[in-house]
Amino acid sequence: MNKKADALRITPRSESHPDWYQDVVREGQLAEAAEIVKGAMVIKPHGYAVWEKIQGELDRRFKATGHKNAYFPLLIPESFLKKEAEHVEGFSPELAVVTVAGGQELEEKYVIRPTSETVIGHFFAQWIQSWRDLPLLINQWANVVRWELRPRLFLRTTEFLWQEGHTAHASHEEAKEEVLRMLDVYADFAEDFMAMPVIRGEKTASEKFAGAVTTFCIEAMMQDGKALQAGTSHDLGQNFGKAFNVRFQNEQGELDYVWQTSWGVSTRLIGGLVMTHSDDNGLVLPPKLAPIHAVIVPFFRKNADENARVREAGAELARALEAEGLTVKFDDRDGAPGPKFFENERLGVPLRFGLGPRDLVERQLEFKRRDQSEKRSIPLDGAAKFAKEALADMQQELFRRALARREANTVRVDDYDDFLDLMKSERDSESKFVFAHWDGTPETEAKVKAETKATIRCIPLPGQGFEAEPGTCMVTKKPSAQRVIWAKSY
């Protein structure tokens, strides 16, 4: 579909991870830079189809946990952001501002939402009066704009698509439960659907959301060992409740401010998907998020009758696969199979079937899984059931590989000199997660960041195999309650 994309090479990952990423995104027909607007992108049909799969499953999970979708305005009066001091400080440098509308200079400027805590706080104040109105559990699917100086497709774009959950509760305890519930929804989705293992944890004060009391996150390791923050869930305390005067009468008849949460994931997830599974041949998609599960390529010969039978058998196989719930592409365009294999491989189609006249005689099919290098023959009879099992197996295998890679590239360091050696000796495509002690101060964190570019990705929550034993900070040797995850990140 893209003139420029015809037959372009994918840079091997070992040569340059950033170039490889850009090439896989382009050749996978996921997106392209929209150079007409700084840092913006076009999400192409194949990329958008992946986003629809992500949306569909997350939306189902949000509704299953009691949330309802709504839609709030894109434009926010500039004064709204200023009502929460940390919030405006955090977002001011990234704002796009509307100063003219309907042919007139505006009296009050509007910003395009970088996130919607403020405008939603305003409406919550009108909608909530009593504990009976709580909890109020809202989600919004929307676009947001944050001006990016170093844009990168899906990972950092000036406009992106996301969902933002916004909830209000009668107690801090209940709000904190919600924050962790949604963090678990994200983590389960990432692991079950994206086949991307994640570490759930708490952000340090310097990495938290501007305006939150506490930010929790899921962090994933990309194939170069760098961390990707894949989703966040914020305990907003009463910060926005106070800023927007969101008060309710509690069961005792007293007025109190509501306790709020917010949580979001974005099209950034697609970047994470690419960097978790794809290879030097292009995109690899986990079956649960693949818009097309299987491609069937007929092998045509010279005999027209034989070709007609092959075409018929291919169409029949497609119907059998569809009857098992698979989405199938029957690629019976004229032409040799090679370029079709090549194209569908780059698109990340999980399963590929080839079928020629001799296969029909022998009642067999050529079969190749996108995550395996060898093709093989399988019986034509029962192929649909075989395909369904292959998809389930591939889904698990992708997760298993990603988890094994993360485990192999997570190290424990006790001494800061070792940490410095490690960070400095790393090649760009072979980074690591370091599990090390920290004294809990922003000063130590800032020093490490300045000296190595590594940051604290999170303080892991219990129950993930990162045991919370006390120790001494690797930098200052002061007491540390538990090890934290340090890494370079996207």
Residues at the site binding a copy of itself, with contacts judged by CB under 8 A: 1-4, 34, 36-38, 40-45, 47-49, 51-52, 68-77, 80, 92-103, 110, 112, 119, 122-123, 126-129, 133, 136, 138, 142-143, 145, 147, 149, 158-159, 161
483-487/479-480 β-pairing: unpaired
CB of 37 to a copy of itself, least distance (A): 5
In angstroms, rounded to a whole number, what is the distance separating the alpha carbons of residues 362 and 416?
64
Q: How far is the CB of 269 from a copy of itself (least distance, A)?
A: 15
CB count within 10 Å of CB 171 equals 15
Report the sign of the C-alpha dihedral through residues 88, 93, 94, 97, in that order.
positive
Cβ distance to a copy of itself smaller for residue 95 or 402: 95
Pick 93 or 465: Cβ nearer a copy of itself = 93
CA 306 to chain centre: 46
Q: Which is nearer to a copy of itself, 95 or 390 (CB)?
A: 95
Q: How far is the CB of 108 from a copy of itself (least distance, A)?
A: 9
CA distances 220 to 172, 271, 472, Å, are 28, 11, 26
Output 132 or 478, the one with its CB closest to a copy of itself.
132
Beta carbon nearer to a copy of itself, 169 or 388: 169
Q: How many CB atoms lie within 10 A of CB 7?
A: 7
Cβ closer to a copy of itself: 131 or 386? 131
Q: Whole-number minimum distance, CB 148 to a copy of itself, in Å?
A: 8
> Which one, 169 or 226, has the nearer CB to a copy of itself?
169
Distances in Å between the Cα of 375 and the Cα atoms of 12, 103, 111, 245, 372 are 22, 63, 54, 64, 8
CB 283, min distance to a copy of itself, A = 17
What is the closest distance, in whole angstroms, from the C-beta atom of residue 303 to a copy of itself in the complex?
Answer: 27
Residue 255 CB, nearest distance to a copy of itself (Å)? Answer: 14
At its nearest, how many Å lie between a copy of itself and the CB of residue 414?
Answer: 42
Q: How far is the CB of 267 from a copy of itself (least distance, A)?
A: 9
CA distance 235 to 260: 7
Helices (H), 196-266: 239-243
Closest approach, Cβ 72 to a copy of itself, in A, equals 5
Nearer of residues 51 and 353 to a copy of itself, judged by Cβ: 51
The Cα 442–Cα 307 span in angstroms is 70
Query: Could you tell me the smallest distance in angstroms from the CB atom of residue 150 to a copy of itself?
Result: 12
Return d(Cα 23, Cα 134) in angstroms, integer: 48
* Nearest CB to a copy of itself, comparing residues 99 and 464: 99
Would you say 293 or 437 has its CB closer to a copy of itself? 293
Burial annotation 304-332 (CB, 10 A radius, 16+ → b, else e): eebbeebeebbeebbebbeebebebbbbb
CB of 248 to a copy of itself, least distance (A): 11
**Residue 143 C-beta: closest distance to a copy of itself, Å:** 6
Quote the CA–CA distance of 16 and 202 in Å, as a whole number: 32
* Alpha helix segments (H runs only) across 357-410: 357-361, 383-408
Using alpha carbons, select from 314, 388, 377 the residue that is nearest to residue 350.
Answer: 388
Nearer to a copy of itself, 139 or 395 (CB): 139
Give the Cα separation of 457 and 232 in Å (integer).
12
If DSSP codes are grouped into helix, strand and coil, which group holds residue 169?
strand
Bridge partners of residue 234, in order along the sequence: 215, 262
What is 290-359 written as a DSSP string?
-S--EEEEE---S-HHHHHHHHHHHHHHHHHHHHTT--EEE---SS-HHHHHHHHHHTT-SEEEEE-HHH
The CA distance from 445 to 438, in Å, is 8
CA distance 450 to 444: 10
The answer to whether residues 445 and 436 touch, using CB atoms and an 8 Å cutoff, is no
> Please, which residues have CB within 8 angstroms of residue 15's CB and are 6 or more apart in sequence?
none
H-run or E-run covering 62: helix 45-64
Cβ-based nearer residue to a copy of itself, 76 or 236: 76
Please, which residue, 223 or 260, has the CB nearer to a copy of itself? 260
Whose CA is closest to 139, among 245, 46, 60?
Answer: 60
